[in-house]
Amino acid sequence: MHKNNIIRPSKSFVSASFLSATFILFTAAFALRPGMYALSQYYNKQSIDIQCPLKNFDLSRLPSFSQGWEFSPFVTPQAEEFGTEEYVDLMLRKQPSDGHLIYAIFFTTYYNDPKDKVPHTPDVCSRQGGDIVTRMETITLDVPDMAPDNPMIQVRLLTLKNPKVNVLTLFLFVVEGKFCYTREQARWRLARPGNRYSYFSKIEVNAVYPLDEDPLQGLELLKSLLREALPILVADYYPTKQQLTHR
């Protein structure tokens, strides 16, 4: 084969193709950055303030706790570790005619920074504090005042034991208006796109009993506390669905 018979593209053709491809690549690169930034700004969630400070939450509004109960702040060693200034931590105390004291604790936190980490759940915190988890399960709570959207929700039930007392705990998360009962569920829902704004709240209620008493005797008490508090929190404190989606 003679070398003279090989057909080569002209220098002008090669130069034109190369320049065109280079121009397209550079144009795409420069256009991609602002485009990606615009998308991130559109889909990244932003913080949203609570409608009313949690410190204003009034347990006496709850029908089952409006009479015969005393309320006082429940100061805990972890108060500075809540990771938010929006919280309510109250002790409920009642002394029936039989003289048997009843103690309960209502604890709720609110987080609205998309960078906030979902806090540990009571089973983890309690173990770290030396408590023994003697029971852990998921139960269904009827909340008729939140029908038709959420007449039934699932919450986590724990029974704990330490050298001094038995404790019954119910807890759940409210994440952008949706209910979760595990930390993983809360994280997954926070990561989902859709809402413009983001928040989450952890709600715990506890009943405390002597070591020789079954903590499950407080189950109906804590169910009533959650059943009556949740609709008020959702209606008067947490942001509305319209606020979360407004752009």
Residue 203: both structure tokens together? 């709600």
**Using 50, 70 and 90 to split pLDDT, how confident is the model at 71?**
very high
DSSP 137: E
Residue 28: both structure tokens together? 């795409």
167-200: pLDDT as tens digits:
999 999 999 999 999 999 999 999 888 889 999 9
Task: Tell me what the mean pLDDT of segment 73-98 comes to.
Answer: 81
- The predicted structure's pLDDT at residue 192: 87
- The predicted structure's pLDDT at residue 36: 43
- The predicted structure's pLDDT at residue 39: 40
The verdict on pTM exceeding 0.75 is: yes
Q: Are 206 and 169 in contact (CB under 8 A)?
A: yes
- Does the pLDDT value for residue 140 go beyond 80? yes
7-17: pLDDT as tens digits:
555 555 456 66
Burial of 172 (C-beta count, 10 Å sphere; 0-12/13-18/19+): buried
